[in-house]
Structure 1
Amino acid sequence: MGEIRFGVDDLAQLRFAVSPLWESVAALRASADPGRHALHLPWIKTALTVGRERTALLPHLPELEALVPPPRCPLAEIGEELAALAGPPGRAEAVLAWWGAGVRPHWPRIRAVLEADLAHRTRQLAEDGIREVFAHLHPSLRWSEDRLGGAGLPAGGLVLDGGGITLAPSAFTTRCVLLPGREAVPPCLVYPARAVGTLWERSAEPGDGLARLLGRSRAGLLGRTRTPTTTTGLAHQTGLSAGAVSQHLAVLRDAGLVTSHRYRREVYYRASELGQALLGRAS
């Protein structure tokens, strides 16, 4: 058990982020221990086929987990994070190879789950406050007065210096992990994302009736907004251009079938109650 102590300025500097580098390393851990990551077995079966990339990194897994830097921005690219990775340059090249072979092909799906988690946490922060956010990150965490306590936190205690902390959901992490701050970058608390059990599910496609009513592209987009997602995410998933996705979403929103809200530079779309009801009936 350990704890993190917050000041007033630290609570005001709370941030959220997605780290593709951490996900790559955590995914490597999951592929090396399938018994503890049964939810990811559909992905692990494909990950085991990229043996050369995995084999090069597995002996260095504990070292890599300790070297991953905290994310510098909310939606970092893998190249930016690898540039800050400590250790031999060849290690970064090996991680990039693993990312390209084992993680990147599935990144749109993984990122959609992570972004849906971020949308939920930011909504929770706005509606219920920081105490509720911490209370629901992980069962092991406890907020008391000005301190967050729980397993995976520094045993000697960490006092934040006014720069705040970043919270990052992870699809492959089953416990909370603290990435120490570096230079001007605040520490990052990685926690298990919500709804990971849906990550590898094959969602039922809307029926032909809904496709005839809305058009196949719009029906497909509506089906993918069961959880919050962005125009970019939907473009990756469907192969449509971002412009085409935006036009279809505008029509769905005007019809009251999807709602939208902005988080930082991204706009998230989610099926409205009417849209969810329509999808449920069509399925």
Structure 2
Amino acid sequence: MGGIRFGADDLAQLRFAISPLWETVAALRAVADPGGHALHLPWIKRALALPRPALPAGLAVPAPRCPLAEFEEELSALDGPGGEALRAWWEAAVRPHWPRVRAALEADLAHRTRQLAEDGIQEMLTRLHPNLRWTGERLESPELDRGELTLDGGGLTLAPSAFAARCVLLPGRPGTPPCLVYPARAVGLLWERGAAAGDGLARLLGRTRAELLTRTTTPSTTTALAAQTGLTPGAVSQHLAVLRDTGLVTGHRYRREVYYRASELGRSLLAGAA
């Protein structure tokens, strides 16, 4: 059983981040263990045809320094060999799918921030993963390395991961707190192309708007929807504006982006069409 001990200052310094470097390393490990990552089999089948780099034993991924770091920015902080191999794997296997992966991670962040606002810090922390539990001032999990990490007042970064099969603690570094990586929600939907909109719904809304409504059953950004449908972001925005004006989707801003989700009316319409 491993744990993280919080002080009052640490709880006030919780933050969220997305780490493309971690996702790149975790994706490589997923390809090496398809049985343990069955949700990613549609992607793994394609990735198996790509040359896989051999990474140094004991490669330590640094904790992300900022919430929305770029891959190259994180790679520059990686100590030791393996950087060029990771860059090649990122370009070939992860970057082509990054808009979709990132959209799933951002949807998880939106859910956690709402949960934080509604239920408080402790409830949000224990719901990150079924194996996490809060005992007084300590967050515990049998998945964490044995022992205890005592935070020094700098807080903790929480990072959802599409490819992580369990919780992982990344060590901090000067100016950067440790990072708890946890499996993101709804990863099982990541590689689905989305069910085709029914003919009746397509006749009612138009095939493009019907497809966009189908894809907003989980919170999605304009960029993510454009990547999934092949439409331009401008075209997606125009169609979403119509869906929003008719009450079929709602938009909620998180940081610099707006997440669109089917409203109760929109979900009812989808259910009836199905």
- Whichever residue aligns with residue 58 of structure 2, its letter is E
Which whole-Å CA distance do the structure 1 matches of 2:220 and 2:12 have between them? 26
Q: Deviations over 1:162-220 (max 9, x none)?
A: 22111111111111101111111111100111122222233212123222222222222
Inter-partner Cα distance in structure 2 for 1:99 and 1:279: 36
Instruction: Give ranges in structure 1 of 5+ residues lacking alignment.
Output: none
Say if 1:5 and 1:148, in contact at 8 Å, map to a contact too. Answer: yes
Counterpart in 1 of 2:241?
250
Of 91, 94, 110, which aligns to 2:101? Answer: 110
* Residue 240 in structure 1 maps to residue 231 in structure 2: yes
Structure 1 residue ranges, 4+ long, deviating more than 4 angstroms after superposition: none
CA contact (8 A) 1:5 1:159 kept: yes
Name the SS for the 2:147 alignment partner: coil
CA distance in 2, matches of 1:200, 1:86: 32
Deviates more, 1:24-33 or 1:150-159: 150-159
* Corresponding position: 1:63 with 2:58: yes
Counterpart for residue 150 of structure 1: 141
What 5-or-longer segments of structure 2 have no aligned partner? none
Cα distance in 1 between the residues matched to 2:45 and 2:23 = 17
- 1:266 deviates by 2.0
User: How many Å separate the matches in 2 of 1:203 and 1:240?
Assistant: 15
The question of 1:83 aligning with 2:67 is answered no
**2:67 corresponds to which residue?**
74
Report if the CA contact (8 A) 1:70-1:180 is conserved.
Answer: yes
2:2 is matched with which residue? 2
- 8 Å contact kept, 1:4–1:153: no
Alpha-carbon displacement from aligned partner over 1:48-98 (angstroms, at most 9, x marks no partner): 1002xx1x22x53x433x2x111122222211111111113xx22211111
Contact 1:152 1:178 in 2 (8 A): no
User: 1:119-153 CA distances to partner (integer Å, 9 max, x unpaired)?
Assistant: 11111111001111112112221101211111243
Moved more, 38-47 or 102-111: 102-111
Counterpart of 1:212 in structure 2 is 203
Would the aligned equivalents of 1:170 and 1:192 in 2 still touch at CA under 8 Å? yes
Q: 3-state SS of the aligned residue for 1:113?
A: helix
Aligned residues: 274
- SS in structure 1 at match of 2:66: coil
Tell me the alpha carbon deviations over residues 106-130 of structure 1, each in whole angstroms, 9 at most, x when there is no partner.
2222222212211111111110011
Task: State the TM-score, normalized to the length of structure 1.
Answer: 0.91
Is 1:271 matched with 2:271?
no
Query: Is the 1:170–1:193 Cα contact (8 Å) retained in structure 2?
Result: yes
TM (norm. structure 2) is: 0.94
Indicate conservation of the 8 Å contact 2:36/2:165, yes or no: no
1:154 offset after TM fit, Å? Answer: 4.8
- Please give the alpha-carbon distance, in whole angstroms, between the structure 2 residues aligned to 1:240 and 1:81: 30
Q: Displacement, 1:277?
A: 1.3
3-state DSSP of counterpart to 1:37: helix
User: Whole-Å Cα distance in 2 between the matches of residues 44 and 157 of structure 1?
Assistant: 35
